[in-house]
Chains A and B, each alone.
Chain A
Amino acid sequence: MSAVTAMVSEDEMKAAGARPVSRDEGARLGFRLTLPAQILVLFISAFPLLMQLYISVTDWSPLSGTGWWNAWSMWNSFANYTDLAADPRFWSALKRTAIVMIVCVPVEFLLGLALATLFADDFPGKRIFYSILLMPMMVVPAVAGYMFFMLFQSGGPVNDILSALTGSPVTIAWLSDPTLALIAVMVADIWQWTPLMFLILLAGLVGVPEDQIKAATLLGANPWQRFVTIVLPKMKTIIIIALAIRVIENFKIFDTLYIMTGGGPGVATETISVYIYKLTTQDLIWGYVAAIALAILIVLSIVAVFAMKRMARAREVPA
C-alpha cells in the first residue's frame, strides 16, 4: 500500500496540482486493489467452513432430494451436536485416536531424535543409511497400508520371524485381535513417520553452533550434560514445530490404517477419521458428519494455537 503511494513523491504530486495522499487514503486504495484477491482467499477458506457450519445444524443428506443450499428446511435445532455429545461410538473413536497419538508421536519423536543424534556425526555408510531411512516417508500411505496388511497376516513375515526367534511356530492373528490390531496400526504409523521427525530434528541438530558445544566440553560437560544444557534448548523451536506437525497429522490418521484393518476388528481400530469416513459413505448423514468435523477442527486449532504461542515465546530467545 505504502509502496504504491511512494512511487510518486509528494513534491511531484504537488507540482502536478494533486493534493498529498494521506496514510488512510493509501490504506483504502490498497484495500480496494487487493480486494479481488482477498475475496478469492475468503472464498477458499471461509466458504467451506460456513457451508459446513450451515449443514451441521440440519438433517441434510445427499439423499434428501434437494440441494444443500435448501438445507434450512431441515433445520434440526442443534440435534447433531447433542447427538454427538451422547454418541458413545464418537467418544470411543476420539479416545482411540488420542491413544494412538499419545503412543505414536512420542515414540516417533524419541526415535527421530536418537537417529538425528546418530546422523549428526560421521560414520561409515552414512549416506546409504540416510537414503534407506528416508524411504518409508516416500512410500504412498495406501501402499504402506497394504504392505503392513501383508506383513501382519497370520502366515506373514512378522510371525515367520517370531517363529524363527522363538523356535516354535507362531500364528498370531494380528489384525483380528482388537489390541494387537491397534498395535500393528501404530507400528505402521511409526515406521512411516519417524523419518519425517528424524529429518526435521536433524535439521535442527546441525544448526546447533559447534563452537558452543566445544566450549561446553572444555568447561567439563559430559555428552549428556551437553545434550541437555546446550543442544535441547537450541532445538526448542524446531522440536515444537516437529511435534505440532505430527500431532495434527497423527490425529487425522486414516489411509494406512483403513487399508490394514478398515477400522476393525469391529470398531477396535476405528479412529475419528475412519468413523467420519464410514458415516459419510455408508450412513450418508452429512449434517452429523459436518458437526463432528467442526468439533475436530476446533480441537486441532487449539493445538495449533498453543504450538504457535510456544514458538513465538521461543523466538524471543534466538539461538
Chain B
Amino acid sequence: MSAIHLQNLVKKFGDFTALKTMDLAISDGEFMALLGPSGCGKSTTMNMIAGMEEPTGGKILFGERDMAGVPMGRRGVGFVFQNYAIFTHMTVRQNLAYGPRMRGAAKAEIDRRVGAIAEMLQLSPLLDRKADRLSVNILQRVAIGRSAIMEPAIFLLDEPLSNVDAAFRAVMRTELKQLQRQFRQTMVYVTHDQLEAMTMADRIAVMDHGVLQQVGTPLEVYNDPANVFVARFIGAPGMNLLKGRPAQSDRGLVVDLGPLGITPPLPDALAAALRGARGEVLYGFRPEQVTLVQNGQGLAMQVTFVERIGARTIVHLGHGESAVKAVFDNDVGLAIGDTAIVAPTASSVRVFDTATGLAIKAG
C-alpha cells in the first residue's frame, strides 16, 4: 500500500498539452476516481503513474519515493486495462502465474500463490480453462488477480467497465468495490462514467481539458461543484444554470433572470456572499431539487418535452432562450405545452460567477 502524490505534473505531446500542471494527493488505501470526458487527460495521468509515459514536467511520488526514471515493470503497480489484456493464448492459471514466473519464483511458490489468489477471486474451478473464452466478469477477475498476485502497492484501472453492457455493469461495479475492500489497496480508477465514479470511489477528481477541476467525495462534487464545468458534468441530467444579475427585492436578495422574472430569495449565507457582486451570475440548481409551486413563488415555464423513465420523470421546461430540466419521483401529470411553475429547494441553490465560471461560496 502506498500514497500517491502528483506534484505540478505536466504532459505535452509535441505542441499538444494533454495535462496542464496537476496536483493531486491520493492517500494510502483510497479509491480515487479520475473522471472526465474523453481527452481530459485522465488516461494520460494514469499512464504516467504506471510509467508508460514520461511526464514532461513535475513529480510523481509513491509514498516518499520519486518515481522518475523507474521503469514500469518496477513500480509495484497493478494495471487493469480497458479490455483487460488477458493473455488469450494461455490458461487462467498461466495468466495468474505470469508475474511470479517472469520474476523467477520457484514452482512450489508460484503454485501456492496462484492457489491463494484463485481461491480469493473464486477462480479455482476455472484455472485450467483457456483464457480466450471467458465471460467479462471472469476476465475482470483474472485481470485483477494477475496484478494482485504481485502484491502491488497501487492498483490502476483504466475504464475496465466500458466494454460491458449496461445491465452487467452494476454487477461488475459491486464486485469491483468488494475486491477493493478485500485488497485494501490504493486504487486509481479512470472513467468517463460518473455513475461508476459516484458509486465506487472514496473521492473523485474531476478533470477537463488537461486541468483538474475539483477533488472531493462523490457528494461534495455533486452538492458543491467548484465551477460550471463540474456542475454541468456531474449529475444526470446536469445542474440547471440560468443567466441573471443579483437584485434586491422586498423579500431579500434575488437573482433577476430577465424575461423569466426573478428567482425566489436566496438563502442568507449565499446572499451575504453575493452582496458585493454586481456582474452577471449563473443561478444553478439540481433538476432533482425542484418543486412545483403556486403562481408568484417560482419560475413560470412551458413544458417542451417529458421523458418518463420508470421511477422518475424528467420534464424539460423552456422560456425564451432559457431551458431547465426538472426531475420528479413520479408522474406529475404535465404534458407538452402546459405551463409549470417551478422553484428550486432553497438549500440546493448555487451561484456561479459568469466571467470565471467559479462557484460563489456561501459564508
Chain A residues in the interface with B (C-beta under 8 A): 209, 211-212, 214-222, 225, 229-230, 233-234, 317-319
Indicate if B99 sits at the interface (CB-CB under 8 A): yes
Query: For the complex, what is the distance from the CA of A319 to the CA of B146, rounded to whole Å?
Result: 19
Q: Are B150 and A211 within 8 A (Cβ)?
A: no
Extra pairs beyond A212-B85, A217-B73 (11, CB < 8 Å) = A209-B85, A214-B85, A218-B72, A218-B79, A220-B74, A220-B102, A220-B103, A221-B102, A317-B132, A318-B132, A319-B89
Complex interface: chain B residues within 8 A of A222 (CB): 73, 102
Query: For the complex, what is the distance from the CA of A319 to the CA of B82, rounded to whole Å?
Result: 18
Complex interface: chain B residues within 8 A of A217 (CB): 72-73
Complex interface: chain B residues within 8 A of A319 (CB): 88-89
Q: Are B87 and A225 within 8 A (Cβ)?
A: no
Chain A residue nearest to B143 in the complex (CB): A215
Query: For the complex, what is the distance from the CA of A22 to the CA of B99, rounded to whole Å?
Result: 58
**B116 vs chain A, min Cβ distance (A):** 17
Q: Are A212 and B87 within 8 A (Cβ)?
A: yes
Query: For the complex, what is the distance from the CA of A214 to the CA of B78, rounded to whole Å?
Result: 12
**A128 vs chain B, min Cβ distance (A):** 23
Chain B residues in the interface with A (C-beta under 8 A): 50, 52, 72-74, 77-79, 81-83, 85-89, 98-99, 102-103, 130, 132, 146-147, 150
Complex interface: chain A residues within 8 A of B103 (CB): 220
Query: For the complex, what is the distance from the CA of A317 to the CA of B133, rounded to whole Å?
Result: 10
Known: A214-B52, A318-B132. A219 touches B85 (CB 8 A): no
Query: For the complex, what is the distance from the CA of A211 to the CA of B43, rounded to whole Å?
Result: 14
Known: A230-B87, A317-B89, A318-B88. A220 touches B150 (CB 8 A): yes
Complex interface: chain B residues within 8 A of A212 (CB): 85-88
Q: Are B102 and A219 within 8 A (Cβ)?
A: yes
Can you report 17 residue pairs joining A to B where beta carbons are below 8 Å apart? A212-B87, A215-B81, A215-B146, A216-B87, A216-B98, A216-B102, A217-B72, A218-B77, A218-B79, A220-B99, A220-B103, A221-B98, A233-B89, A317-B88, A317-B89, A317-B130, A317-B132
Chain B residue nearest to A230 in the complex (CB): B87
Complex interface: chain B residues within 8 A of A220 (CB): 73-74, 99, 102-103, 150
Query: For the complex, what is the distance from the CA of A211 to the CA of B163, rounded to whole Å?
Result: 15
**B350 vs chain A, min Cβ distance (A):** 41
Query: For the complex, what is the distance from the CA of A220 to the CA of B77, rounded to whole Å?
Result: 10
**B332 vs chain A, min Cβ distance (A):** 48
Name the 8 nearest CB pairs between A and B, nearest first: A211-B85, A219-B99, A215-B85, A221-B102, A220-B73, A233-B89, A218-B79, A212-B85
**A175 vs chain B, min Cβ distance (A):** 47
Chain B residue nearest to A209 in the complex (CB): B85
Known: A214-B81, A225-B102. A219 touches B88 (CB 8 A): no
Query: For the complex, what is the distance from the CA of A229 to the CA of B99, rounded to whole Å?
Result: 12
Known: A218-B73, A317-B132. A229 touches B85 (CB 8 A): no
Complex interface: chain A residues within 8 A of B83 (CB): 211
Complex interface: chain B residues within 8 A of A225 (CB): 102
**B318 vs chain A, min Cβ distance (A):** 46
